[in-house]
Structure 1
Amino acid sequence: MTIESKPMIHEKFLAVLATAAFVLCTSPALAHPGGHDHDEPHHPQASRTWTLATEGAHLHGAFVAAKDGKVQIRRDDGALATLAMDRLVPSDQKWITERLEEIKRLNTQQGSQLVAQKQPHPPAGKGTTKEQPAPMMLKYFKPFEKTLQLRWDEKYFYVGSNGLPAHPMMVGIRSWQQQVPIPQKYFGDNAWRIPLHPTPAREPMSAKNNFLRGAIALAVNGVPIFNPLNNRGDDAYLFGELDQYGGHCGRADDYHYHLAPVHLEKTTGKDQPIAYALDGYPIFGYQDEQAPDFAPLDWLNGHKDKAGNYHYHATKTYPYLNGGFYGEVTERDGQVDPQPRAEPLRPDLPPLRDAKIIRFEQTEPSSYRLTYEVRGKAGTVSYTLAADGTARFVFVDPSGKTVNETYSPRQPGPGKDDRPRPGDRPERRPPPRREPAAQSPRGAAANRESDLPRLPVTSASVTPQGRLSIDCTCDGAGQSPAIAWKDAPAGTKSFAVSIWHTAPDQEKSYWVVVNIPADVSQLVQNSKGVGQIGLNDKRRAEYDPMCSKGPGVKIYHVTVFALSAEPKLAAGKATRAQLLEAIQDITLAAGTLDFQYERK
């Protein structure tokens, strides 16, 4: 239908009309696990990450409409969520207000017509209108277009990719966490997006202490590039974590680079961009100091050319590529936001000491084998990926022991239940489905307390309002919180404690304490000498105080386990993942206390 806009239309009615038109003109995101069928055309509107201010939880989905103080969001699982706007953080509320003002402005122009109909999807690799010609950026990705899905709109260039390069992977890695390359589904609403018109930031941000999670750039072959510093802040290259091309796999078996992919110049040509930072500025290869246009690089590893265009360069020493962002980006939870999400097929494993990867090969279509050595003896990881997403693994360790495992795609959800379930093997099976974060900050974990007897958990370091004492955060003294529990079942021989938090793409561990004696029912604030301290996510045997860099209130959890025996764990070296595996058959009861923290 066509509706003529008239100057005398009542302002309130027009605002409602504009919202209704926006709903009709927008194709809601109906994202399934892993995105859409790759043969379908996609609308360029991407899913956003929304933050609930009061819960500290995240919701992924596309904006649909806003009216009477409420907003509708089409979640990535296809469901329509309606919530009060004031539950969102101020930045999200501002985004909604600006979107409605833009719609109103377009629809109140004199003599204009508002056409309320569903717009056709642009085909992959094409602009949305004749007024949007192919951007210059397209030519640099085209050499790899057989494995990419390329499209654009007036603001962004979108790159759909499975995240895997054509070159060999993993060979040469000396510090290996037992990951292997598995194709990812960076397609549709989960595609990479690069600003077509980058804007210099008022205060450029360094990657030295920021953006330690997620990607900071995208190579022109569709492979993401992460911060050269890993999530512990160590130089991944110097630590021996990277292969001969500067890449490795993350916890989700997602392959990515940590160095500038200068090898791509063999395909793109010399003096052409090999990647784009997520702020929209290109990344070139190494500088030629003899070139007539040579100019020193700034602290971000970039400079302007003679035409005044800014770009970054690769270097052979840190920061190796863009050392931060010259352009505007949004940082949330330690990473550039928004960006695609990897989908782990299996839980991450601990590092395999003294292992070095010597070979990675494709043995058959969709079948692969990784070979590693430990002190001169070889082991292999072989796996086959089925059309339904199932993966069948065969692990042969250096002693010759063989283990067969099968993993199935997990259901959509932000994370996993912290408590082990009797009969399950948490490190070899995907976690259970959780309810959407907007409904329950702890998801299904809060709804499955009946799986095990409940252990009441309290804390004198948490206020009646549920806020963690500042003394237990990086804003204060950084002391471990007080934790108390009661009603341990008969037969309890020891206790274990885990403090954890569900981030958008992973679960983080802040404190692990094992082998707490059975006659102990509390840990005082800044506890010392009780139980054995395990490793946090920074690989340190200590409490890691909350130090959130993202906006809004975050929800954290402390779980106490009553155990029928002391778990068999190396003293001072137990990670949270190792703890969960070790106690799967000896857990008698468990209890979780949620608390909140907001960085000031």
Structure 2
Amino acid sequence: MVFLHVVLGLAAHEACAHPGGHGAFGLPFHHRAQPAPVFKPAAPVIPIQLVSAPPPGQGLANVAIDDAFETFQKLGGLQTRRDGRYFCVAGSGLPDHPLMVGIRAWQQQVPIPQPYHGDNAWRIPLEPVPAAKPLSAKNRFLRGAIALAVNGIPIFNPLNNRGEDAFAIGELDDFGGHCGRADDYHYHIAPVHLEEQLGKGMPIAFALDGYPVYGYTEPDGQAVTGLDALNGHEDAAGNYHYHATKNYPYLNGGFHGEVTERDGQVDPQPEARPLREAKAPLRGATIVGFETTGEKSWTLTYEIGGRKGTVAYSFAADGSATFRSTDPAGKTTEETARPRGRRPGGGREKGNGREPPSPPPSRRGGQPDAPRGAIRNAPRPVIEVTSAAIGEDGRLPVEFTCDGDGVSPPVAWEAGPLGTKEYALVLWHEAPDRLKSYWVIHGIPADVTELKQGSVRVGTIGLNDKGRAEYDPMCSRGPGVKSYHITVYALSEVAKLPPRGANREQLLAAIAGTTLAEGTLSFDYERGGKK
């Protein structure tokens, strides 16, 4: 069982703050390793008091928000309080059910405790106000949470930050969740499995506009009818509420109530706090196990082609964590990460957004781990990047490497947003010791959306890691499959760079405030691979 460390108190300006504050690692965290049926929670280890739903005809407003969270508060996982206009919920962001198992599109993130407490606690309006113009969450609010489950786990937009249905493409575990770029666990669909602990008829979540989210039926067990475009409607007493559905949008499809949108997410909401750099997708991996191995340690097991790999990680008393990864070939790497203060995480880089954002599960289009030193501002629209040279196996043919002709591969991308003045491109790889860049191009005209094989006449060719203004064909010295990435940036201004070309660091610094959209194509290369 996961015990959530929580601290909550009162602060000025209606913030859910605690004067003293505590870290996220003050209590032991435990987790039961066991198979989990889809969307069904593990049995609780202590008795649960079910809270009764309101009698028929009395309306949903009779279910106080305090009662909805009471079950998980009694489990020791949450602390709650009313604070001015808000109902404040504090916890560690780790649920009391098996995690991660069943994910088929994994970006190598693992669940760690998050400090959702003090002034970083969740806040739900106590008195929701109907909006003059309700807002849809389709292709909007793609960062951060749109609701909070009554077990304290945030629920993100069902669409990931590339606008794809996260559930449909295999990014979610058996309970509808996964980890974002800050190793923050969150759901992307309605957690209807909580009804087994709550009893049917209770809200399973609250949207961040303050309205409750119920399961597949009405509180009295009747079938749900007449849902609006946001998956909500009013009960007989005129109380608005949302419902879970088995198809998109799965929960609230937006906000019937007033919310503030800032940087692509609902504001205010907590920030996830990462310990390490976000990872890139691991092609072909399926997560098959997650277990507790000690007081503050866990092991995640994944499988690629029938061979297993693991990520074992543990926390020390100072809040640092050691991650020991063993790939299916038996190679082991170790990384120690220490708290770095506030830095947004989640489905995207900033906010609890997601993520995130989550890097793409496939090799086409999305946005995997950005290079160190890359732009880490608000999330941007994602442009699809493709290459006719890369097949369905995601492998780069040998002709584009040092073992072949060593020419640059063909690359194409969709047109950037309105206002795009030019494009830039970087081919990069994250080695164990540093990030390497093999191909840098800037000044690509706005009306160009592809580079032919062996292209040398489009844009300005920048400097690779060897200080040469040319494409550097990959020539891996180590054994095994390596992952590489081509990122294309759509820019709102012509970048001010040296006329003879800039290196990756200079390029990223120059476009930090002018990037309108970006997209990344990921692919694999193994030395000695087939043509």
Same fold (TM over 0.5): yes
Which of 1 and 2 has greater Rg? 1
Counterpart of 2:9 (choices 35, 41, 49) is 41
The corresponding residue for 2:287 is 357
Between the aligned partners of 2:113 and 2:463, the Cα distance in structure 1 is 36
Counterpart of 2:474 (choices 568, 574, 585) is 568
Pairing of 1:96-495 with structure 2 (within 5 A): 136-145=64-73, 146-287=76-217, 291=221, 294-412=224-342, 474-476=417-419, 478-481=420-423
Aligned residues: percent identity?
51
Secondary structure, aligned partner of 1:143: helix
Q: How far is the alpha carbon of 1:148 from its aligned partner?
A: 1.2
Between the aligned partners of 1:567 and 1:262, the Cα distance in structure 2 is 50
1:496/1:561 contact within 8 Å kept: no
Amino acid at match of 1:593: A
Between the aligned partners of 2:281 and 2:219, the Cα distance in structure 1 is 40
Amino acid at match of 2:243: H
Q: Comparing both chains, which one has the higher relative contact order based on Cα–Cα distances under 8 Å and sequence gaps of 6 or more?
A: 2
Amino acid at match of 1:515: W
1:347/1:430 contact within 8 Å kept: no
Between the aligned partners of 1:575 and 1:257, the Cα distance in structure 2 is 28
Q: How far is the alpha carbon of 1:269 from its aligned partner?
A: 1.1
Q: How far is the alpha carbon of 1:515 from its aligned partner?
A: 2.1
Unaligned runs of 5+ in 1: 1-36, 49-60, 62-75, 77-133, 417-426, 438-471, 484-494, 499-511, 534-558, 578-585
1:346/1:428 contact within 8 Å kept: no
Are the structure 2 counterparts of residues 214 and 429 from structure 1 closer, same or farther at C-alpha, using a change threshold of 3 Å?
Answer: closer
Q: How far is the alpha carbon of 1:334 from its aligned partner?
A: 1.3
Are the structure 2 counterparts of residues 399 and 199 from structure 1 closer, same or farther at C-alpha, using a change threshold of 3 Å?
Answer: same
2:211/2:240 contact within 8 Å kept: yes
Are the structure 2 counterparts of residues 379 and 315 from structure 1 closer, same or farther at C-alpha, using a change threshold of 3 Å?
Answer: same
Between the aligned partners of 1:590 and 1:271, the Cα distance in structure 2 is 57
Between the aligned partners of 1:409 and 1:531, the Cα distance in structure 2 is 44
Secondary structure, aligned partner of 2:71: helix
Between the aligned partners of 1:340 and 1:567, the Cα distance in structure 2 is 43
Secondary structure, aligned partner of 1:563: coil
2:106/2:282 contact within 8 Å kept: yes
Q: How far is the alpha carbon of 1:430 from its aligned partner?
A: 12
2:421/2:445 contact within 8 Å kept: no
Give CA deviations for 1:373-397 in whole Å, capped at 9, x if unaligned. 0000000000001221100111010
Secondary structure, aligned partner of 1:378: strand
Unaligned runs of 5+ in 2: 22-61, 350-367, 379-414, 429-435, 455-460, 476-481, 490-501, 517-531
The corresponding residue for 1:590 is 506
Secondary structure, aligned partner of 2:510: strand
Between the aligned partners of 1:207 and 1:309, the Cα distance in structure 2 is 21
Between the aligned partners of 1:589 and 1:301, the Cα distance in structure 2 is 46
Are the structure 2 counterparts of residues 575 and 382 from structure 1 closer, same or farther at C-alpha, using a change threshold of 3 Å?
Answer: farther
2:6/2:92 contact within 8 Å kept: no
Provide the TM-score with structure 1 as the length reference. Answer: 0.55
Between the aligned partners of 2:483 and 2:322, the Cα distance in structure 1 is 33
1:515/1:532 contact within 8 Å kept: no
Secondary structure, aligned partner of 1:218: strand
Are the structure 2 counterparts of residues 338 and 290 from structure 1 closer, same or farther at C-alpha, using a change threshold of 3 Å?
Answer: closer
1:390/1:406 contact within 8 Å kept: yes
Between the aligned partners of 1:410 and 1:531, the Cα distance in structure 2 is 42
Q: How many residues align?
A: 374
Provide the TM-score with structure 2 as the length reference. Answer: 0.62
The corresponding residue for 1:28 is none
Quote the RMSD (CA, aligned, Å): 4.2
Give CA deviations for 1:276-306 in whole Å, capped at 9, x if unaligned. 0000000001126995575321111111001
1:496/1:562 contact within 8 Å kept: no
The corresponding residue for 2:27 is none
Q: How far is the alpha carbon of 1:480 from its aligned partner?
A: 2.5
* 1:515 pairs with 2:439: yes
Between the aligned partners of 2:234 and 2:190, the Cα distance in structure 1 is 19
Between the aligned partners of 1:573 and 1:154, the Cα distance in structure 2 is 48
Between the aligned partners of 1:391 and 1:320, the Cα distance in structure 2 is 35
2:439/2:464 contact within 8 Å kept: no
Q: Say which structure is richer in helix.
A: 1
Amino acid at match of 1:568: M
Between the aligned partners of 1:265 and 1:589, the Cα distance in structure 2 is 50
Pairing of 1:4-15 with structure 2 (within 5 A): none
The corresponding residue for 2:51 is none
Secondary structure, aligned partner of 2:196: helix
Give CA deviations for 1:433-465 in whole Å, capped at 9, x if unaligned. x9x99xxxxxxxxxxxxxxxxxxxxxxxxxxxx
Are the structure 2 counterparts of residues 390 and 589 from structure 1 closer, same or farther at C-alpha, using a change threshold of 3 Å?
Answer: closer
Are the structure 2 counterparts of residues 307 and 313 from structure 1 closer, same or farther at C-alpha, using a change threshold of 3 Å?
Answer: same
